[in-house]
Structure 1
Amino acid sequence: MPQRPLGAQISHMLKARGVDVIFGIPGVHNVEMYRGIEEAGITHILARHEQGAGFMADGYARATGKAGVAYVITGPGLCNTMTPLGQAYSDGVPVLAISSCLDETSATRGQLHQMLDQAGAARTVCEWSEEARSASAAYHLIDRAFTEFATARPRSKHIQVPIALAGSLADDAPSILPRPAKPQPPQTQLTQAITMILAAQKPIFVFGGGAVAGADVVGNLLCMTGAASFTTYAGRGVVPVGAPLDFGSTLARSDSAAVFAQADLVIAVGTELAEVDLWRSDLGHNCPMIRVDLDPSVLVQGKADDLLIQGDAEAFLRALAISIPARVDNRDPCWDADVVTSARARWRAETDAERPGIVPICDALKDALPEETMFFSDMTQFAYVAKEIWDMPKPAHWHHPFGFGTLGYALPAAIGGKIGGGDQPVVAIAGDYGFQYTLQELGVAVELGLSLPIILWDNGKLKEIEDSMVRSQIAPNAVVARNPDFCKLAEAYGAASARPANLAELSEVMKKALAQRGPTLVHVTPEILGG
């Protein structure tokens, strides 16, 4: 092929690597990146803000398992997308941001969009951030990103391309090379793990988001071992709904530590056991742990008698599912199912008491929505309750800004998820305050005609912060802000809106919203329970 400007070559390279959609905003600095998008057969989604573009790429990646790609400009464009990049890093989401950058900054000042260290700024929220100073370097960095997405824990990456280089002629990108497989658990450690599990009298599994790909064998594995289980919030859906010894996504309940104190073996699969999973310093166990993770930094947290396995969680679970039946038939339950049921009922009641009125709304929504519905939630009390009491029938179907914990995630991420999921039902859940961080992305959903219900939980304040202040004996301050008429605001963008008066109306509104073309803002307040 004849040479083409590097920006066009990059678009063709991305298409060859499986990229069908790019989210972004063009500007004078990155305009050359847009030269080849349509020619390459890639769809570009115009966000209303670079933060929205980053969250859309994140949602697309979570919904599809493919990399989400965002194009942003020098300086403020990259800065605006650093929050989504930080979220993707925290949650292990494959997001690649490609930005323009100034050709030279050391001897010139006062340039448009100039930063002191643009690549360094992005490096604070990405796994890595590098500048491509030649076409071959750009190609190498892109292939490096996609290889790492496929073989290691996926985290956000940033590549910046100098303005002049993006417009310069370049040869075609190299052919796609075979990618190595994810690290497999060593056979000796697998054998040791199986021996430990079968010798345990009260084993308990903890499944994280890294275990999602092996979810289809988990139900049988629990029956074969007689083990109890917990999931992290990201691991919801890995354990089949109704499993009799499943404690659910209730690790954050303080007295779940007493459950782990009874165990004689913990098997933690694909989870960091992070602060946002536990909200305490440790699980509470006094026994050995088998810990399986791709990320070696997670494994350094082990104790002397632990078995620490660096490898793919899916491969580990499938190996157990093959090897354990060869040694033993289904074991009798190692835990008392009645105790598990009682604990879950108690914790559900505690959740309802802590944030009253949300549990029955969750129950109504769960009954009204198809099992395959995918959710994208924001930092809001509604989501905090749902994450504990709403059992998911499928894994990787509820996405939340867990680690970084940013507001404004739900709407743009749901847009990206809906674009990636096609006909699959997708629902966004946001609070009245966080929704206003990125509400302008409603325009994208309207423009694309996305069937997207947006549940807006409006309690008229930053209720979680108010509750925290009260618990700390601080007079609530700066927790109430004047809200707009959200329904009129949605209609101004061209979206539909509804204010259901009761739970029965809410169910009907949701069914209608999923069936119609275009987004629907569903305004829900605590008063819905009195309707």
Structure 2
Amino acid sequence: MTKQPLGAQISHMLKDRGVDTIFGIPGVHNVELYRGIEQAGITHVLARHEQGAGFMADGYARASGKPGVAYVISGPGLTNILTPLGQAYSDSVPVLAISSCLDETSALRGQLHQMRDQRAAADAVCAWSEEARDAASAYALIDRALNEFASTRARPVHMQVPIQTLGALADPAPQPLKRRPTYPAARHDDVYAAVAAVLAARKPLIVFGGGARGAADVIPDLLRQTGAASMVTYAGRGLVPGDAPLYFGSALARPDCAKIAAEADLVIVVGSALSDVDLWRPTLGHTAPMIRVDIDPACFDRLSPQDTAILADAGEFLRAMTIAIPARTEDQPAKWDAAQVARQRAAWRAEIDAERPGLLPVCDALKAVLPDDTMIYSDMTQFAYAAKEVWDMPRPGHWHHPFGFGTLGYAMPAAIGGAVARPGLPTLAIAGDYGLQYTLQELGTAVELGLSLPILVWDNGKLGEIEDSMVRSQIAPNAVVARNPDFLALANAYGALAVQPDTLEAMQDAVLQAFDAPVPTVIRVTPDITG
């Protein structure tokens, strides 16, 4: 290739490195980034707001396993995408945001889209935020991002390029590496030490996080080999079969889960940070030694002297364990009681049903009809809060939720990105009536793309979770009821389909029909559906 403006060369570089889709919004300050998109053969998805573009890139990354890429303008374009970048940081999602920036800000004032320090603003929610002032720097930063995505804990990153630099002629980017760096592999000594520890334990407990997805196919064998009880984080749902006899489910946040952890004489945590939003308490509750396996050294910060830290890819570590470990013999039975586990799970389900009356029947009805390969994106809504504790996923990595940062408005645009990444496969968005309105305008993008996307809206006419929190705190509920629009009419106005089922059976039919519809379908569900 000959020289072209750097903005065009960036698109060609991304294409050469496997990027096939970019989410974003063009503007006068980043128009040069758009010069090479079609030329490079990249699909561009036009969002209605940069926040939507960021969530789409996030959803695309989670569904495809590839980085999500977004183009935004300087100033408000970047600030609008900061919330999605913060969410991607909390949930370890590889998102690359590329923005333009002003050429000079120290001596000139009052420029269009001017900020005091745009780079630093993005740095607050990203692994890093850097400015590329020439082509070589831009190429180096893009490769740095892609290499880190492939070999370390995924975090979003931001690169900004001055407007004049984007328009300046530049040579093509260098050829990509033949092989990118990979996650660290476990040492043989670490694997065999873990095997010896789990065989010596009588009541081992393994906690699987989302980082263990690479070993989903061997985890059932590992649990049989070790006789270990298991739990999963919300992000780890689907890693353990729901009918596994010693599976406690995704109930880490239940207060009495700490008592279960205290029964173990060895705890192994694989691919999870065990963050505050996993536990909602300071510690897991164990007193036994713990083995932590993770690719992020920061996960080892709070280990005690009796614990073991293993820096390794969780999936490969578990695979190595299943090869190295012999089956537990009959004279070394594990002491976990399957009947106790079943009783505990039933008790937790009853607690959730009492805390959130009327929701579990809706969850059960929806789960009963969804194809096993359905990918679900949920928002911060009571429906999702209940489901993530009782819904055993048939496979891992198929329910995505804005954990950690906990933003509203995530579900629908992220589901759009997920549907773009998995054409022809079922994708479902679940949002509350309030959260949906944060990014409702992205329905236009879904219609433009012709996505067969059911968007289930749990409409209780209020901020139900906040109201409950106020009541528990003995505060008179205040500012928790808002006038909702006619969601069905709004959907029709965008060109989408819309339906309000009045029975659980009708809801099931509506969702299945939406998977085959030529445009998205908004399905409004109210608490009245359960009578």
How far did residue 186 of structure 1 move? 2.0
Q: Deviations over 1:221-241 (max 9, x none)?
A: 000000000000000001122
Give the conservation status (yes or no) of the 8 Å contact 2:4–2:169.
Answer: yes
Equivalence for 1:240:
241
Moved over 6 A (4+): 326-331
Give the conservation status (yes or no) of the 8 Å contact 1:209–1:270.
Answer: yes
- For residues 192 and 306 of structure 2, what CA distance do their matches in structure 1 show? 16
Give the conservation status (yes or no) of the 8 Å contact 1:224–1:328.
Answer: no
Equivalence for 2:320:
319
- Specify whether residues 522 and 444 from structure 1 end up closer, same or farther in structure 2 by C-alpha distance, changes over 3 A only: same
Equivalence for 1:10:
10
- For residues 512 and 434 of structure 2, what CA distance do their matches in structure 1 show? 26
Please say if 1:375 is aligned against 2:367: no
Please say if 1:41 is aligned against 2:24: no
> 1:21-100, aligned counterparts within 5 Å?
21-100=21-100
- For residues 102 and 201 of structure 2, what CA distance do their matches in structure 1 show? 60
The DSSP-based 3-state class of the residue aligned with 2:345 is helix
Q: Deviations over 1:14-58 (max 9, x none)?
A: 001110000000000000000000000000000000000000000
- For residues 384 and 172 of structure 1, what CA distance do their matches in structure 2 show? 48
Q: Which amino acid aligns with 1:93?
A: V
- For residues 509 and 429 of structure 2, what CA distance do their matches in structure 1 show? 17
How far did residue 331 of structure 1 move? 6.6
- For residues 120 and 311 of structure 1, what CA distance do their matches in structure 2 show? 31
Q: Which amino acid aligns with 1:172?
A: P
TM-score, scaled relative to structure 2: 0.99
The DSSP-based 3-state class of the residue aligned with 2:430 is strand
> 1:73-222, aligned counterparts within 5 Å?
73-177=73-177, 178-222=179-223
How far did residue 311 of structure 1 move? 1.1
- Specify whether residues 310 and 420 from structure 1 end up closer, same or farther in structure 2 by C-alpha distance, changes over 3 A only: same
Please say if 1:285 is aligned against 2:286: yes
Equivalence for 1:518:
519
How far did residue 333 of structure 1 move? 4.3
Give the conservation status (yes or no) of the 8 Å contact 1:63–1:421.
Answer: yes
- For residues 507 and 413 of structure 1, what CA distance do their matches in structure 2 show? 22
Give the conservation status (yes or no) of the 8 Å contact 1:57–1:68.
Answer: yes
Query: RMSD across aligned C-alpha pairs, in angstroms?
Result: 1.1
Equivalence for 2:449:
448
Unmatched segments (≥5 aa) in structure 1: none
Equivalence for 1:257:
258
- For residues 334 and 352 of structure 2, what CA distance do their matches in structure 1 show? 28
Give the conservation status (yes or no) of the 8 Å contact 2:202–2:334.
Answer: no
Q: Which amino acid aligns with 1:244?
A: P
> 1:329-348, aligned counterparts within 5 Å?
332-348=333-349
Q: Which amino acid aligns with 2:277?
A: V
How far did residue 359 of structure 1 move? 0.2
Q: Deviations over 1:376-427 (max 9, x none)?
A: 0000000000000000000000000001000000000000000001111000
- Specify whether residues 126 and 451 from structure 1 end up closer, same or farther in structure 2 by C-alpha distance, changes over 3 A only: same
- For residues 329 and 142 of structure 1, what CA distance do their matches in structure 2 show? 55
Equivalence for 2:275:
274
How far did residue 129 of structure 1 move? 0.2
How far did residue 516 of structure 1 move? 1.3
Q: Which amino acid aligns with 2:282?
A: S
The DSSP-based 3-state class of the residue aligned with 1:372 is coil
Task: Report the number of matched residues.
Answer: 530
TM-score, scaled relative to structure 1: 0.99
How far did residue 330 of structure 1 move? 11
Q: Which amino acid aligns with 1:36?
A: G
Give the conservation status (yes or no) of the 8 Å contact 1:97–1:159.
Answer: yes
The DSSP-based 3-state class of the residue aligned with 2:155 is coil
Equivalence for 1:486:
487
Q: Deviations over 1:355-377 (max 9, x none)?
A: 11000000000111111100000
